[in-house]
């Protein structure tokens, strides 16, 4: 049995999408940052860091977005969320996931200019490909989450990051993404007005 502890609109959005892409049954446990539910004794007993996401696998906790995404992709290969038969493709997935976790995710802590620069690198790395690795994968899910979540912090001119904006639009068209958005809205998350659009600039 899988149980996902998530806070709507947070990093846990990525594994939440992956679970809905796979279609496997899972239990949802939404947590509120405002109510400090991630710091409750009950949750800290599961994840002492008090962060989300946490995926319980038959009551065993697994943390960190990339680890959970790789676990889900490997455990449910029929979903084809990783190119297992292609060693180079899998290595490129690891390269992208490392870049997202170590460069994109902490970028905002280093200032707006640094954030713009690293997202410009991501835009160039993605290029005009439909999906990052060729076939759709967990990399697309992780990249999508970082792009939309941090756009509100960037004051970009219209038309900036065109490849990431196009990727965002393709992701928004996926039923699993739409379902995840609906679930997270149902537990109190107010989706940004720009989220469903195809533009590149979010209001601050």
Q: What are phi and psi of 76, to 5 degrees?
A: -125, 70
What angle in degrees, to the nearest 10, is found between the helix axes of 175-186 and 13-22? 130
**pLDDT score, position 59:** 94
Question: Which residue has tokens 């493709």?
Answer: 89
2-186: CATH topology is Glutathione S-transferase Yfyf (Class Pi); Chain A, domain 2 (1.20.1050)
* Angle, vertex CA 153, rays to CA 147 and CA 157, nearest 5: 80
| Distances from the Cα of 46 to the Cα of 4, 39, 68, 95, angstroms | 12, 11, 15, 29
Asked if 17 and 24 touch (Cβ cutoff 8 Å), the reply is no
**pLDDT score, position 99:** 95
Q: Which two tokens stand for residue 97?
A: 């996931």
Tens of each residue's pLDDT in the chain, 204 residues: 999 999 988 899 999 999 999 999 999 999 998 899 999 999 999 999 999 999 999 999 999 999 999 999 999 999 999 998 899 999 999 999 999 999 998 887 777 888 888 999 999 999 999 999 999 999 999 999 988 776 766 766 777 899 999 999 999 999 999 999 999 989 876 555 545 444 433 322
**pLDDT score, position 197:** 47
Please return the burial class of 159, using the count of CB atoms within 10 Å of its CB with bins 0-12, 13-18 and 19+. exposed
């Amino acid at each position: 049995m899988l149980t996902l502890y998530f806070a709507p609109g947070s990093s846990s959005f990525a594994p939440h999408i992956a679970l809905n892409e796979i279609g496997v049954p899972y239990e949802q446990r939404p947590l509120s940052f405002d109510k400090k539910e991630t710091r409750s004794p009950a949750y800290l007993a599961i994840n002492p860091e008090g962060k989300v996401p946490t995926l319980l696998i038959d009551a065993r906790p697994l943390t960190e977005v990339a680890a959970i995404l790789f676990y889900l992709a490997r455990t449910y290969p029929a979903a084809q969320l990783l190119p297992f038969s292609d060693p180079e493709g899998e290595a490129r997935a690891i390269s992208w996931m490392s870049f997202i976790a170590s460069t994109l995710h902490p970028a905002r802590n280093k200032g707006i200019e640094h954030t713009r620069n690293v997202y410009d690198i991501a835009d160039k790395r993605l290029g005009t490909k439909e999906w990052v690795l060729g076939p759709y994968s967990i990399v697309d899910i992780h990249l999508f989450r970082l792009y939309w979540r941090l756009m509100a912090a960037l004051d970009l001119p219209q038309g900036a990051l065109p490849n990431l904006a196009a990727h965002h639009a393709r992701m928004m068209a996926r039923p699993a993404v739409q379902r995840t958005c609906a679930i997270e809205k149902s537990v109190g998350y107010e989706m940004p007005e720009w989220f469903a659009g195809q533009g590149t600039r979010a209001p601050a």
